[in-house]
Structure 1
Amino acid sequence: MALPLAALRVLLGGFFALTGAAKLSEQLSPPTSERMKALFVQFAEVFPLKVFCYQPDPESYQVAVGWLELLAGLLLVLGPPVLQDISNLLLTLLMMGALFTLVSLKESLNTCIPAIVCLGLLLLLDICQALVQTKQVVRATRKTPGIF
C-alpha cells in the first residue's frame, strides 16, 4: 500500500510543480504563457471573493497560483509527512477553487475534467493516507500489553 501511495504522491506533486512553473515562467512555452495570461483575466472576473469587493490583478493572481502550485507540489513529493498533508490540503482547496471558477465561467465538462481528476486523486491520496495512519495506530494499540 505504501508504494502506490508514494507513486501517486510523486505523480501529483510533479504535475503541480510543473504546472506551477509553467504559470511562473514565460520561457518554458511562450504560446502557453500568453494563453494563460488571457485565461487569468477571465478567472479574475469570477474570483470567489469578488462578492466581498475584492478582485485580484490577473497577473498577480497567476503568479500567486503558480507559486502555490510549485511549492505545494514540491512539498508533496519531498516534504515530511506533516508538510505533505498541508500541501495536499492546499492543492485540494486550489482545485475546488478551479472548479468553482470553471463552473462560474460556464465552461464545458471537457474543460473541467482535468480539475475534477486532480481533485479526485488528491482526495484519494488524503483518504488512503488517513486509512494507513489509522491502521498503524490500531496496530500500535494492540501490541501494548494490558494492565491485567
Structure 2
Amino acid sequence: MALLLGALRVLLGGFFALAGAAKLSGHISAPVSEQMKALFVQFAEVCPLKVFGYQPDPMSYQTAVGWLELLAGLLLVVGPRMLQDISNLLLTLLMMGAILTLMSLKESLSTCIPAIVCLGLLLLLDVGQLLSQTKKVVRRSRKKTPSAFKESWK
C-alpha cells in the first residue's frame, strides 16, 4: 500500500511540477505557452476570487498558478510529510478552483475531465495516506490485569 501511495505521490507531483513549469516558461512548448496565455485571459474574467472583489491580471494569474503548481508538485515528491500534506491540500483547492472556473465558462465535460481526474487522484492520495497513518496509530495490545486485581478474586 505504501509503495502504491508513494508512486501516486511521485506521479502527481511530477505532473503538477511539469504543468507549472509549462505555465511559467515558453521554452518547454511554445504553442502550449501561447495557448495558456489566451486561456488565462478567459480564466481571469471568471476567477473564483472575483466573489471577494479581486480581479487578477491574466499574466499575474498564470504566473501565480504556475508557481503554485511547480512548488507544490515538487514538495509533493521530495518534501517532508507535513509539507506533502500542505501541498496536497493546496493542489486540491487549486483543482476545485479550476473546475469551478471551467464550469463558469460553460466548458464541455470533456474539457473538465483532466481537472476532475487530478482532483480525484489527489483526494485518493489524501485518503490513502490518512488510512495508512491510522493503521500505524491503532495497535492491538494486550491489556495486562494488575496483580492486585487478580488476587482479590482468589
TM-score range, shorter chain: over 0.9
Counterpart secondary structure, 1:61: helix
Question: In structure 1, what is the equivalent of residue 95 of structure 2?
Answer: 95
Question: In structure 1, what is the equivalent of residue 3 of structure 2?
Answer: 3
**1:53 deviation in Å?**
2.2
Counterpart secondary structure, 2:138: helix
Q: Distance in 2 between matches of 1:146 and 1:54?
A: 61
Q: Distance in 2 between matches of 1:21 and 1:95?
A: 17
Structure 2: gaps spanning 5 or more residues:
147-154
**Worse-matched range after superposition: 51-60 or 18-27:** 51-60
Counterpart secondary structure, 2:28: coil
Q: Distance in 2 between matches of 1:143 and 1:106?
A: 55
| 1:13 and 2:13 aligned | yes
TM-score (normalizing by structure 2): 0.91
Q: Could you report, residue by residue, the CA deviation over 1:56-106 in whole angstroms, capped at 9, with x for unpaired residues?
A: 000000000000000000000000111100000000000000000000000
Counterpart secondary structure, 2:106: coil
- Structure 1 counterpart of 2:65, which letter? V
**1:143 deviation in Å?**
4.1
TM-score (normalizing by structure 1): 0.95
**1:22 deviation in Å?**
0.2
Mapping for residues 36-47 of structure 1, pairs under 5 Å: 36-47=36-47
Q: Distance in 2 between matches of 1:40 and 1:27?
A: 18
Q: Distance in 2 between matches of 1:52 and 1:11?
A: 34
- Change in Cα spacing, 1:136 to 1:27, as seen in structure 2 (3 Å) is same
| 1:26 and 2:32 aligned | no
Q: Could you report, residue by residue, the CA deviation over 1:13-48 in whole angstroms, capped at 9, with x for unpaired residues?
A: 000000000000011111110000000000000011
Counterpart secondary structure, 1:72: helix
Larger Rg over CA atoms: 2
**1:54 deviation in Å?**
1.2
Q: Distance in 1 between matches of 2:142 and 2:41?
A: 58
Q: Distance in 2 between matches of 1:100 and 1:147?
A: 57
Considering only aligned residues, what root-mean-square deviation do their CA atoms show, in Å? 1.2
Question: In structure 2, what is the equivalent of residue 68 of structure 1?
Answer: 68
Percent identity between matched residues is 79
**1:127 deviation in Å?**
0.3
Q: How many residues are paired up?
A: 146
**1:51 deviation in Å?**
2.4
